[in-house]
Structures are given as structure tokens and as C-alpha cells.
Amino acid sequence: MTVAGDMWRGTARGRPLATVVLLLGCAGLAMGQQLVKGPFSGQLIDMRNGTLRVVTILEAPFTMKEKTADGSYKYTGFCVDMINELSRMLKFDYDLYEVPDRTYGAMTDDGEWSGMVGQLVNDKADIALAAFTITSERERYVDFTERYMDYGIGFLMKRSNKEKQNYFAFLLPFQPVVWACLLAAIFVVAIMLFITSRIRIKLNIANPERDNDRQFNIRNSIWFAYGSLVRKGVEPAPRSLPVRIMAGTWWLFGLIVISTYTANLTAFLTVKRLEQPIRSIDDLAKQTEIAYGIPTGGGLYSFFRSQQGTGTIYELMWNYMNTEPTTFVKGLTGGVERVRQGNFVFMYDAPILEYRVNTDTSCQLMLLPNTFRPQGYGLATRSDSGLQEGLSFGILHLKENGKITELRDRWWPKVGCSMDGSESEAAAEGLALDSFVGVYIVVAVGGALAMVAALAEVSWHSYCNNRPNVPTQQEDTNNTVSEQRKLTEEVLRGIDNGTLQILIRKTPPVIDTCPAHNGGPPDIKSDGKFV
């Protein structure tokens, strides 16, 4: 293959151009003794006095132009590889050139076609080779081959630079209503423990030596309920049967709550969750915070313009874009640059957007998961030129032998930036400090409240001590202990010096009036023991 000026010449296995004949008929395609069978209608085209003129448009990765070491240029890309495969299969040569106005083609106000469609209609090209969308409007003026690729319209937007900071991320595993119910449950259980203990004490059911119902006052009950929920051992420990049943049920409840919270907290803090308020065209049309747009001209522009008066969601979007002039951008490059500025969604062919995201060195772009308006790419030929059926046969053959899939995997490698903007699963990141700021705030608030309580207690104690002629309970206790100590010392001193004597009197035995086991009264020995 050679380049002459703006023309790229492709040959069939290096054969001279004058020997190339493209035969279309019920027998198939023939070149000398070569025969490829196919279901064709029957037409003979002699290409010995010319070559196939192929017009294209630069659109990565379908058609690209690269500079070689010797300073010349060559065309590469998915479409270039595909036309080379068709050239080898169908035995034809071609010259490749770029469309002058660099557009796919749309009908102007004066009824003329621009772009590649205009090149075919005006007999300046035989084949249009590009990511050329098959539409009914174009089909009336040119012939399209079999689809070589199916696609939909995708949504390109800028990826969030970082996750939105949430200092209270530790609260995310449960919704606010769940936290409110947990707080209420602590007080409800505490009140039930307190009431149960009070009832047992009032009815004299509690055993003072075994049960500890008196310790379950309202303060201790709340502390017990809270400590049990956070899986910390607290006092008092339940001893009576009703309190143990209530405590056991509460412990089971706490086990389930803590286990669920731990599992959800792990997911919320370790998995990067990027906000995607828009996942489909319906989401895009229903919101107004994020602008969206399309390229001026082309098939997508014509599609939205044709939706006026239909009452569909597409008409709603078209009306919005008409009120915002900045939503119409100049081609793919203008759309991508507009997306990089932020707060903009660009609608375009999904395969082309996918390539842009995958090759973005800064990984700032992302592609939303859903598409709309399913379509297909095909090669376009001059109307009634007879090239359509032969090329369609070649494309079908390339599909069947897996060559199209091979070319797609080559030009859309599954490496590089992720399509949805998510982080690589293999890259494990430590949790940042901002994930725990809320926890530190809770500890700081708790410490501040503890200091306030301590200061209040000290102030109250100082106030009570400074009150005149009002003995405190502690003073009364100290006075009582002091008087008891003095009395004890005086008694011991009197015993030592003989001024006090201790008189011990023997108490007569108590006779049990209950009958003995044999039915008779018990006997008493002289020493007072029963016999």
C-alpha cells in the first residue's frame, strides 16, 4: 500500500490494478480462477479501467492517520483493517481519501447532501468507510451493506475526582429511623427492667439474699441496657428469673444488631461508592442540574429534531437543548472538551465514547452503563452501483469466521481506565482519616460532657460544704462513727481497770412445741438437749 498526496492506495495482494475485475452474480465473486459463492442478484462490474474510490472520516479507533518514520502518513484503525480483509477476500483495489468537510453527511436547507453522503450522491466516491450509521433517510439516497457492528447512543460524563466526604460515615450502615428506634429501644428495655424489679420488691417476691432487684433502679437499668447493646459487661448482673429473661432477649437482639452493623460498615468504608444520579436517558431528561448536549449536525441531531410534536421524552430533551445554546457542540472533540469542564453529559455513539474513556490518560471520563436508540454501522455505496451485495457477503463472512470480533478486541482493548469510573478491584486502599472524623467527634463530645458533669459535681459539693449550720449527710455519718468509736474505747478502758464487769447469764433452753416425728412430745435431758 502506498500514499499519493491525500490518497491511500490499497491493492489486492499486490496485483496490478488493471487486472482487477469484480464479478457479482448468482455464481459468486471471481478473480481469475478464484471463486467465492454468495447469494447475489447478478451484475457484472468491470474495474479494469479504474479503482474503487473509498471516502472516510477520521474517527478513532475506526479510522486514524499516523505519521511513519520516513515522514509519510498511513491510515490505521478498525475500518482500515476491515477494508483490507474485504480487499483480500473479494480481490479488489481501492484508493482511500478523507472527506473534505469532515462530516458524515446531512441534508442542507437547499436539498443537497454534505459530508460522505454528498460524496456518494455526487459520484465522487464509490464506498463510504467509517462508523457510518444506517438510517432510513440516508437509505433513500445511498445503499448500505450488512451491519458490521451494532451499537447504541451512550452518555459521557466527567468522573468525580473524589468521593464526597462524610465525617459521620460510621452512621451510614443504618438509616436515621433505625438509629432512632435503637435509642428508643434502650430506654424501653431499661424501663421494663426497672418496673419488673420494683413490682417484685413491692409484692415481697424478691429474695434479698439471692436476687438483686433493688440495684435495678432507673439509672442502673439504662446503663445495663446500653452496655449490653454495645457488647460490654456491665453491673448489676441480672439474678431474678424475669430480669434474666428480659436481659437474655435483649442480648440476642444486640447480637443481631451489632453483627448487621459491622457487616454494613465494612462495605460502606472499604468500597468506593461514586454518586451516579444519572443511569439512563429517563434520569437525564427528568433532571435539570446537569446539562446535556449533542453534536451539531449528523444523524443524532436529525433524530432529536424530528421528534418535535411527538410528545415523547426525546421532544422534551430537544426543547431543553434548544433553550440552551451551549448544549450543541462542534463534533466529538468539542463534546469531550465540554465534558472535561464538568457538569455536562455528552451523547454520542457508545463505541467511540468507550474508546475515548479507555484511552484517557487522566482517567477523568466515565461512561454511563445504559444506552438508547439501538443502531448499526455499515458501509455505504452509491445507489444502484452493485457493490452493496458483494460487500455485504464479505462482511457476513468476516462475522462468521470471528474476524470482526478479533478486530474489535484489538482496537478496544479491555485495559486502561474503567468504563464506569470505579476504582480497580485489585487496588486495595487504606481508609482515610475523614472516614473516622465522626467517631472522634463523638468521643470528644462524650469527654466534654464528662468534664461538665465533673465540674458540676465539684461545684455542688463545694456549695454544700460552705452552707452554714447545715450538716451534710457525710458529716452526720462521720459524727456517728466518731461517737461509736469513743463509746467503744470507754467500755474497753472500764473493763481493763475493773470499773466495769460483764455479767453472763445462761438462757434456759427453748422447748420446741412442734410434735416429734413419732407424734409424741419431745424429751429433754438434764443438759437441755433433745432426745
Instruction: Count CB-CB contacts under 10 A for residue 140.
Output: 8
Q: Cell numbers 495482494 label which residue? A: 13
Distance separating alpha carbons of residues 148 and 400, to the nearest angstrom: 11
Q: Is 349 annotated as a binding residue?
A: yes
Alpha carbon of 53 to those of 97, 126, 244: distances in Å?
A: 8, 5, 92
Strand partners, 63: 59
As a whole number of angstroms, the distance between CA 117 and CA 94 comes to 18
Kindly indicate the confidence band of residue 524, based on its pLDDT and cuts at 50, 70 and 90.
Answer: very low
Regarding whether 16 and 137 lie in a shared domain, the answer is yes
Give the total number of structural domains in the chain: 3
Question: 69 and 26, same structural domain?
Answer: yes
The verdict on residue 453 lying in a domain is yes
pTM check: above 0.85: no
Torsion, Cα of 517, 518, 519, 522 (10° steps): -70
279 is annotated as contributing to ligand binding: no
Residue 343 lies in a domain: no
Q: What are the start-end ranges of the H helices in 54-142? A: 78-90, 115-121, 136-139
Residues 6 and 113 reside in one and the same domain: yes
Average pLDDT over residues 9-30: 39
Mean pLDDT to the nearest integer, 388-408? 93
Q: What's the pLDDT at 251?
A: 85
Q: Is the dihedral of CA 24, 25, 31, 37 positive or negative?
A: positive
The answer to whether residue 469 is domain-embedded is: yes
Last residue within a domain, chosen from 242, 270, 298: 270
Q: Cβ distance 297 to 103 under 8 Å?
A: yes
Q: Where is the domain boundary, 217, 239, 270?
A: 270
Whether residue 21 is contained in a domain is answered as yes
The last residue of one of the domains, among 243, 270, 297, is 270
Q: How confident is the model at residue 488 (pLDDT cuts 50, 70, 90)?
A: confident
Torsions phi, psi for 309 (to 5 deg): 85, 5
Residue 473 lies in a domain: yes
Inside any domain, residue 86: yes
Domain extent at residue 213: 169-270
pLDDT of residue 359: 86
The reported pLDDT for the residue numbered 62 is: 94
Q: Which residues contact 108 (CB under 8 A, 6 or more apart)?
A: 114
Inside any domain, residue 411: no
- CATH number of the domain to which 205 belongs: 1.10.287.70
**pLDDT confidence of residue 126:** 94
Give residue 141's pLDDT. 93
Q: Quick one: 142 and 179 in the same domain? A: no
Q: Would residue 489 count as lying in a domain?
A: yes
Q: Which band of pLDDT confidence, cut at 50, 70 and 90, is reported for residue 43?
A: very low
Q: Does the annotation list 15 as a binding residue?
A: no
